[in-house]
Amino acid sequence: MAAPDIQWWQRYGNFAQIASAVFALVGFAAVLLQLSEIRHNNRATGARQVYLAYTDLNFKHPEYALPELNKLKVGDPAVYERYKSFVSYLLYACDGVMSAFPDQQEWRKSCSYEIREHLPFLCETQTSDPDFLETFGGRSIDFVRSVMQRNGVTAPECKLKKA
């Protein structure tokens, strides 16, 4: 029995199919890469917007940015709750930017600087209302604790040392 006669176009037809499959795989990989990049860019944009919104809140309420904690605690309970929300917003904004930009240390430094004034509140809250900090997750809690340690803020005194 004689071997079937293979025409020239049949040989190149198989090559074309293989090349098409390779190009399709490369195209699929490019789409996956683009989706990953879009997700990263969206996270970064969202984190910047939240941080800018915190900065705007900071301008609108300087009494919370540089708090007199003892006055806030004995004053109007609604004002104290607004201050707690202000600190929550700060922690949420910091968590967002540090998550979106893990390799950019300037964000960690900015957040450390912003959180510093609120360390006495956060320290007291660890013992008086531990659920408050638990709402932010492990990374944020660890960050707050490391900033407390660097600034020498410990319970039960919870005093911020002057720079």
DSSP class per residue in 117-135: TTHHHHHHHHHH-HHHHHT
Q: Which long-range contacts (CB under 8 A, 24 or more apart) does 74-83 make?
A: 83/121
pLDDT band at 25 (very low <50, low <70, confident <90, very high): very high
Looking at the predicted structure, is the pLDDT value of residue 133 above 60? yes
Task: Answer whether 54's CB lies under 8 Å from 93's CB.
Answer: yes
Share of the chain above pLDDT 90, in %: 54
State the pLDDT at residue 159.
86
- Extents of the domains making up the chain: 47-150
More confident residue, 20 or 120: 120
pLDDT band at 3 (very low <50, low <70, confident <90, very high): low
**For the residues 121-131, what does the mean pLDDT come to?**
90
CA distance 59 to 57: 5
* Residues 6 or more apart in contact with residue 111 via CB below 8 angstroms: 90, 93, 94, 97, 98, 143
State the pLDDT at residue 8.
62
| Reported pTM | 0.77
